[in-house]
Chains A and B, each alone.
Chain A
Amino acid sequence: MNDTVSLLEARDVMKYFGDDRRPVLEHVSVELNQGEFVALLGPSGSGKSTLLRILAGLMKPSSGDVRVHGAPLDGPNPNVAIVFQSFALFPWLDVLQNVELGLLSIEMSDDDRRQRAVKAIDLIGLDGFEEAFPIELSGGMKQRVGFARALVVQPEVLFMDEPFSALDVLTAENLRTELQDLWLAKTMPTKAVVMVTHNIDEAVSLADRILVFGANPGHIRVELKGLPPSDRTTKSAARARLVELIYRIMTNPDDDAMAIVEHSQLDRPRAVASPRAGRRPAPARARRYQVLPDVGIDDVTGLVQYIGGIGGHAAVHDLSRDLQMRTDDLLSIVEATNLLGFGALQDRQVVLTPIGTRFADSELDEEKAIFRAQALDHIALLHHIVRDLETTPTHTLEAERVIDQLEHSFSGEEARRQFETAVDWGRYAELFTYDDSSGELTLDEEHRPT
Chain B
Amino acid sequence: MAQPIVPVRATMIRDASRDQPGAPPTPRWVDALMLCAVAAVAYGIMRAAAEWRAPLSPNVQVSLSPRELPYYAGLSTLRMAIAYVLSLVFSIAYARIAAGSRTAERFMIPLLDILQSVPILSFMPGVVLGLAALFPGRTLGLELAAIILIFTSQAWNLAFSFHQSLLTIPRELSEAATVYHLGFWRRFTRLELPFGAISLIANSMMSWAGGWFFLMASEQFTLGANNLRLPGLGSYLAAAADAGDTHALFLGLATLVAVIVLLDQLLWRPLVAWSDRFKLEQSGGDAPQSRLLDLLRGSALLEWVSARVTHPLTRALDRRLGTPPTAKRARRELHDDAVSRFLRWAPALIALALVVWGAFAAARALAGLGMSDWELIAVSAGATFLRTTIALILAAAWTIPVGVAIGMNPRWARRAQPLVQITASVPATAVFPVLLLALLTLPGGLNIAAVALMLLGTQWYVLFNVIAGAMAIPSDLRDVAASYHVTGWRRWKTLILPAIFPYLVTGMITATGGAWNASIISEYVTFAGHKQSTVGLGSLIAQAAEHSDFHLLLAGTLVMAAIVIAGNRLVWRRLYALAEARYRLD
Task: Given A101-B182, A104-B180, decide whether A324 and B4 contact each other with a Cβ distance below 8 A.
Answer: yes
Is A273 on the interface with B (CB-CB < 8 A)?
no
A131–B13 Cα distance when bound, in Å, is 13
Q: Is the CB of A323 within 8 A of B4?
A: yes
19 contacts between A and B (CB under 8 A): A56-B175, A58-B179, A76-B181, A78-B181, A78-B325, A84-B172, A91-B277, A92-B194, A92-B277, A101-B176, A101-B190, A104-B322, A105-B181, A105-B325, A106-B324, A167-B8, A296-B1, A299-B1, A326-B2
Taking CB as reference atom, which chain B residue is nearest A133? B14
Collect the chain B residues with CB atoms within 8 Å of residue A86's CB.
170, 172
A323–B176 Cα distance when bound, in Å, is 33
- From A131, A135, A153, give the contact of B180 (CB < 8 A): A153
Collect the chain B residues with CB atoms within 8 Å of residue A88's CB.
170, 172-173, 175-176
Closest 8 CB pairs of A and B: A139-B8, A105-B181, A88-B172, A168-B7, A88-B176, A329-B2, A84-B172, A324-B4
Q: Is the CB of A58 within 8 A of B5?
A: no
**Which one of B19, B170, B179 has the greatest number of beta carbons of chain A within 10 Å?**
B179
Is A449 on the interface with B (CB-CB < 8 A)?
no
Q: Is the CB of A76 within 8 A of B7?
A: no
B178 to chain A, nearest CB (A): 5
Collect the chain A residues with CB atoms within 8 Å of residue B173's CB.
88, 90
Taking CB as reference atom, which chain A residue is nearest B323? A105
Is B483 on the interface with A (CB-CB < 8 A)?
no
Is B530 on the interface with A (CB-CB < 8 A)?
no
For chain A residues 139-154, which have a beta carbon within 8 Å of chain B? 139-141, 149, 153
Is B246 on the interface with A (CB-CB < 8 A)?
no
Is A325 on the interface with B (CB-CB < 8 A)?
yes
Collect the chain A residues with CB atoms within 8 Å of residue B178's CB.
58, 76
For chain B residues 258-282, which have a beta carbon within 8 Å of chain A? 277-282
Collect the chain B residues with CB atoms within 8 Å of residue A169's CB.
5
Is B65 on the interface with A (CB-CB < 8 A)?
no
Q: Is the CB of B11 within 8 A of A136?
A: yes
Taking CB as reference atom, which chain A residue is nearest B332? A75
A130–B392 Cα distance when bound, in Å, is 55
Q: Is the CB of A75 within 8 A of B329?
A: yes
Collect the chain B residues with CB atoms within 8 Å of residue A104's CB.
180-182, 186, 322
Collect the chain A residues with CB atoms within 8 Å of residue B6's CB.
168
Q: Is the CB of A138 within 8 A of B8?
A: yes
Q: Is the CB of A135 within 8 A of B12?
A: yes
- From B175, B186, B324, give the contact of A58 (CB < 8 A): B175
A52–B279 Cα distance when bound, in Å, is 29
Q: Is the CB of B191 within 8 A of A90?
A: yes
Q: Is the CB of A84 within 8 A of B175?
A: yes
Q: Is the CB of B279 within 8 A of A295?
A: no
Is A32 on the interface with B (CB-CB < 8 A)?
no
Is B10 on the interface with A (CB-CB < 8 A)?
yes
A366 to chain B, nearest CB (A): 25
For chain A residues 73-129, which have a beta carbon within 8 Å of chain B? 75-76, 78, 80-82, 84-88, 90-93, 101-102, 104-107, 110
A316–B4 Cα distance when bound, in Å, is 15
**Which one of B178, B278, B279 has the greatest number of beta carbons of chain A within 10 Å?**
B178
Is A333 on the interface with B (CB-CB < 8 A)?
yes
Collect the chain B residues with CB atoms within 8 Å of residue A80's CB.
179
- From B8, B172, B279, B324, give the contact of A168 (CB < 8 A): B8
A82–B172 Cα distance when bound, in Å, is 10
Task: Given A90-B191, A91-B280, A329-B2, decide whether A82 and B179 contact each other with a Cβ distance below 8 A.
Answer: yes
Taking CB as reference atom, which chain B residue is nearest A302? B2
Collect the chain A residues with CB atoms within 8 Å of residue B281's CB.
135
Is B59 on the interface with A (CB-CB < 8 A)?
no
Is A374 on the interface with B (CB-CB < 8 A)?
no
Taking CB as reference atom, which chain B residue is nearest A168? B7
Collect the chain A residues with CB atoms within 8 Å of residue B12's CB.
135-136
A107 to chain B, nearest CB (A): 6
Q: Is the CB of B172 within 8 A of A53?
A: no
Question: Using an 8 Å CB-CB cutoff, how does the interface string of B106-149 with A read, 1 for contact, 0 for none?
Answer: 00000000000000000000000000000000000000000000
Q: Is the CB of B180 within 8 A of A102?
A: yes
A269–B172 Cα distance when bound, in Å, is 38
Is A137 on the interface with B (CB-CB < 8 A)?
yes
Q: What residues of chain B have their CB less than 8 Å away from a CB belonging to chain A?
A: 1-8, 10-14, 19, 170, 172-173, 175-176, 178-183, 186, 190-191, 194, 277-282, 315, 322, 324-325, 329
Collect the chain A residues with CB atoms within 8 Å of residue B14's CB.
133, 135-136
Is A330 on the interface with B (CB-CB < 8 A)?
yes
Question: Using an 8 Å CB-CB cutoff, how does the interface string of A50-83 with B read, 1 for contact, 0 for none?
Answer: 0001001010000000000000000110101110
Q: Is the CB of B4 within 8 A of A93?
A: no
Is A294 on the interface with B (CB-CB < 8 A)?
yes
A295–B1 Cα distance when bound, in Å, is 5
Q: Is the CB of B4 within 8 A of A325?
A: yes
Collect the chain B residues with CB atoms within 8 Å of residue A138's CB.
8, 10-11
B49 to chain A, nearest CB (A): 36
Is A332 on the interface with B (CB-CB < 8 A)?
yes
Q: Is the CB of B2 within 8 A of A137?
A: no
Q: Is the CB of B5 within 8 A of A149?
A: no
Is A349 on the interface with B (CB-CB < 8 A)?
no
Q: Is the CB of B322 within 8 A of A329?
A: no
- From B172, B179, B180, B279, give the contact of A91 (CB < 8 A): B279
A140–B10 Cα distance when bound, in Å, is 11
A129–B279 Cα distance when bound, in Å, is 20
Q: Is the CB of A168 within 8 A of B5?
A: yes
A325–B2 Cα distance when bound, in Å, is 7
Collect the chain B residues with CB atoms within 8 Å of residue A107's CB.
324
For chain A residues 289-330, which have a beta carbon within 8 Å of chain B? 294-296, 299, 323-326, 329-330
- From B176, B277, B279, give the contact of A82 (CB < 8 A): B176
Collect the chain B residues with CB atoms within 8 Å of residue A137's CB.
11
A423–B215 Cα distance when bound, in Å, is 58
Question: Using an 8 Å CB-CB cutoff, how does the interface string of A256-273 with B read, 1 for contact, 0 for none?
Answer: 000000000000000000
Taking CB as reference atom, which chain B residue is nearest A92? B194
A86–B182 Cα distance when bound, in Å, is 19
Task: Given A86-B172, A135-B282, decide whether A329 and B1 contact each other with a Cβ distance below 8 A.
Answer: yes
Q: Is the CB of B5 within 8 A of A93?
A: no
A78 to chain B, nearest CB (A): 7
A167 to chain B, nearest CB (A): 7
- From A81, A92, A161, give the contact of B278 (CB < 8 A): A92
- From B5, B179, B194, B329, give the contact of A56 (CB < 8 A): B179
Collect the chain B residues with CB atoms within 8 Å of residue A167's CB.
5, 8
Q: Is the CB of B1 within 8 A of A105?
A: no
Collect the chain B residues with CB atoms within 8 Å of residue A251's CB.
none
Is A34 on the interface with B (CB-CB < 8 A)?
no
A127 to chain B, nearest CB (A): 16
Collect the chain B residues with CB atoms within 8 Å of residue A139's CB.
8
Collect the chain A residues with CB atoms within 8 Å of residue B282's CB.
135
Q: Is the CB of B180 within 8 A of A105?
A: yes
A167–B211 Cα distance when bound, in Å, is 48
Is A353 on the interface with B (CB-CB < 8 A)?
no
A168–B8 Cα distance when bound, in Å, is 7
Collect the chain A residues with CB atoms within 8 Å of residue B191's CB.
90
A133–B276 Cα distance when bound, in Å, is 13
Collect the chain B residues with CB atoms within 8 Å of residue A323's CB.
4
Collect the chain B residues with CB atoms within 8 Å of residue A135's CB.
12, 14, 281-282
A297–B279 Cα distance when bound, in Å, is 37
B344 to chain A, nearest CB (A): 18
Is A216 on the interface with B (CB-CB < 8 A)?
no
A229 to chain B, nearest CB (A): 27
Q: Is the CB of A105 within 8 A of B278?
A: no
A257–B98 Cα distance when bound, in Å, is 47
A379–B7 Cα distance when bound, in Å, is 36
Collect the chain A residues with CB atoms within 8 Å of residue B172's CB.
84-88, 161
Collect the chain A residues with CB atoms within 8 Å of residue B315's CB.
110
Q: Is the CB of B190 within 8 A of A90?
A: yes
Collect the chain A residues with CB atoms within 8 Å of residue B4's CB.
323-325
Sample of 4 further A-B pairs with CB below 8 A, known A82-B176, A133-B277, A329-B2: A58-B175, A92-B194, A101-B180, A324-B4
A190 to chain B, nearest CB (A): 14
